[in-house]
Amino acid sequence: MQTHQKRKPYDEINITPMVDLTFVLLVIFILMTTASVQGIKVNLPKASSAASLAKPTTRAITVDSRGQIYLDTFPVTIEQLERELRTYKATNPEFPVVIKGDQVTQYGRIMEALDACARVGLTQIGLVSERPRS
């Protein structure tokens, strides 16, 4: 005669796989949030020589291939751009600005950004290009 042992239902849940998953997700979250943001990716034109204007107070104006204008990494309209530049100029009158435009950007959009800088009265304006490959 066979005796059947009555199986006892689980009293506890094994949380080891959940803890492992939590740690993996935590590591992924930390890596993704600490990645440095370089700005908006644009295809820069080539130049014979390019000097770096990178200073801690430098503001970057980017015009992407669709004609969207960004101040640092935030999309703005021309009016918002001019307003923000006036705010920066009030705190630091001589801050430099660099303008990055994609190769296929309409020239008029870059001129609008340059005009906004001129209306604010900025004198330190640079155009960013890619270094030529040797």
CA distances from 15 to 12, 22, 129 (A): 9, 10, 54
List, as one string, the DSSP characters of the chain: ---PPPPPPPSS---HHHHHHHHHHHHHHHHHHSSPP------PPB-S-------TT-EEEEE-TT--EEETTEEE-HHHHHHHHHHHHHH-TT--EEEEE-TTS-HHHHHHHHHHHHHHT---EEE--BPPP-
**Per-residue model confidence (pLDDT) at position 4:** 62
pLDDT of residue 70: 92
Domains of the chain with bracketed CATH: 59-127 (3.30.420.270)
| Residue 17, pLDDT score | 85
Query: How does pLDDT run along the chain (134 residues), one tens digit per residue?
Result: 556 666 777 677 788 888 899 999 998 888 777 665 556 677 777 766 545 444 447 888 999 888 899 998 899 999 999 999 999 888 888 888 999 888 887 788 889 999 999 999 888 888 887 777 76
Q: How far is CA 47 from CA 40, 51, 129, in A?
A: 20, 10, 6
Cβ–Cβ under 8 Å, residues 33 and 9: no
Report the side by side order of strands in the sheet with 69-71.
74-76, 69-71, 59-63, 97-101, 125-127
What's the pTM? Answer: 0.57
Task: Extract the tokens encoding 15.
Answer: 């949380």
pLDDT of residue 77: 92
C-alpha radius of gyration, the chain, whole number: 27
pLDDT, residue 57, reads: 77
